[in-house]
Chain A
């Protein structure tokens, strides 16, 4: 399989997932996991490694046509990913552009979402905050309460600060972790030992 990690520009700017011949997701890139595009979060909110994409798409309203197209690709009826890229073939944000890549006998497939996020520079540093940024003491206070599931108004009440201030801190925390959401920031913080579970 092509080394997408080495192709930084493409990997950073395009939400990509790899699916094998059984329809099981075998790999996703950071942009896929952080994508806020409707396709990535809606249809594929739970399509992480190990998900049976055919089964998942079969239950989604728009999934029927996409699943059929995916099966066509796996049957080897579409061209290579590189050819499609160079020819500028793609489709609108609501339609997946499906391409076959690599050894078709193994059935490796990439799903490329043309409406994905714009080019990103940062990938989260393994085991640390994105870009090495550190939280301020107050951000630590806010994060600790986010990790208990509190909403911003409840956090403000506990810390004696305004709702607006809490909201600013929450957004900063999400950005510093390179997270896709409030919950994602908490999970990353737990994983990295910045705050403990529960």
Chain B
């Protein structure tokens, strides 16, 4: 494991890491997103991957370009910023992440910082239960790669179930209040699958 500056609160974070960033509202999300990718923009051995839904307004790129200005543009020019879009197939999203991370590593990048912004209910986004499965499966993907994978959950716009199940139980690390900490609510993927996903109340129902 290597450590790298988190970008907020003077904290460091170990890599690999899969973290849930809890924030309230777009303004706070924008500020934290810019801060969190800052260390990667400034280090030419690092890269940034931005993942969001098609047609998101404002887009992550808009948010970050506005906040990080020249550092973001310079990194983008150097090919160290990749943009990915969610699809409705959660497994396909896993493949997109893996392909981007592996390609960057093959091109000499030592550490990739991923910032993903889920939008439950958005078009071209997996069904809620499959997104929860994706979040849990990401842990195995992340464990094999040099990445700090941050999923931003806006508590003001996502259903509470997404924060509890998707945020708190699938991410080993929690970023909240400008602190990063081990998440005591994290469930290992196999256990999360057996004890949570197979028992979601809206699944398997007929008319």
Point out residues on A near B: beta carbons under 8 Å: 5, 11, 28-30, 33, 36, 38-39, 41-43, 45-48, 50, 56, 59-61, 123-124, 126, 148-149, 151-153, 163, 167, 170, 180-184, 186-188, 190-191, 197-198
Q: How many A-B residue pairs have CB under 8 A?
A: 123
Contact B159 A56 (CB under 8 A): yes
Q: Please classify how large the interface on chain B is, using the bins under 10, 10 to 19, 20 to 34, 35 or more.
A: 35 or more
Which of chain A's residues has its CB closest to B156's CB?
A: A61
Q: Is the CB of A45 within 8 A of B190?
A: no
A-B contact pairs, 24 of them (CB 8 A): A33-B202, A38-B122, A42-B121, A42-B128, A42-B159, A45-B127, A46-B200, A50-B201, A56-B160, A59-B159, A60-B157, A123-B206, A124-B207, A126-B206, A148-B190, A149-B189, A151-B137, A152-B91, A153-B95, A167-B91, A182-B133, A183-B130, A183-B198, A187-B203
The verdict on B45 contacting chain A, using a C-beta distance below 8 Å, is no
**Residue in A closest to B202 when the chains form the complex, CB atoms:** A48
Chain B proximity of A109: nearest CB distance (Å): 19
In the assembled complex, the CB of B207 is this many whole angstroms from the nearest CB of chain A, namely: 4
Q: Is the CB of A29 within 8 A of B120?
A: no
Please report the C-alpha to C-alpha distance between residue A126 and residue B92 in the assembled complex, in whole angstroms.
31
| Interchain CA distance A175-B98 in the complex, whole Å | 27
Asked, given contacts A124-B206, A181-B126, A181-B130, whether A42 binds B137 with beta carbons under 8 Å apart, the answer is no
B127: which of A123, A124, A184 is its contact (CB, 8 Å)? A184
For A40, the closest partner residue in chain B by CB is: B121
Q: Are A48 and B205 in contact (CB under 8 A)?
A: yes
Asked whether B178 is an interface residue with its Cβ less than 8 Å from the other chain, the reply is no
Q: Which B126-142 residues sit within 8 Å CB-CB of chain A?
A: 126-130, 132-133, 136-137
**Known: A46-B202, A149-B190. Is A181-B207 also a contact (CB below 8 A)?**
no
Determine the distance from Cα of A124 to Cα of B205 in the docked complex, in whole angstroms: 9
User: How long is the Cα–Cα vector from A43 to B159 in the complex, in angstroms?
Assistant: 7
C-alpha gap A60/B98 in the complex (Å): 32
Q: In this assembly, does B94 line the interface, its C-beta being within 8 Å of a C-beta of chain A?
A: yes
Residues on A with beta carbons closer than 8 Å to the beta carbon of B189: 149
Which 4 pairs of residues, A with B, have the shortest CB-CB distance?
A: A42-B121, A149-B193, A30-B207, A187-B204
Q: Which of A28, A152, A190 has the most CB of B within 10 A?
A: A152
Cβ-closest chain A residue relative to B199 = A187
Determine whether the beta carbon of A190 is less than 8 Å from that of B198.
yes
Which residues of A lie under 8 Å from residue B132 when comparing CB positions? 183
Write out the residue numbers on chain B whose beta carbons fall within 8 Å of the beta carbon of A148: 190, 193
A42-B121, A183-B203 given; name 15 further pairs at CB < 8 Å.
A36-B127, A39-B121, A59-B160, A60-B158, A124-B206, A148-B193, A149-B133, A149-B194, A152-B95, A180-B127, A181-B126, A181-B130, A184-B203, A187-B200, A197-B194
Pick the contact of B91: A29, A36, A182 (CB < 8 A).
A182
The reply to whether B207 and A45 contact each other, CB–CB distance below 8 Å, is no
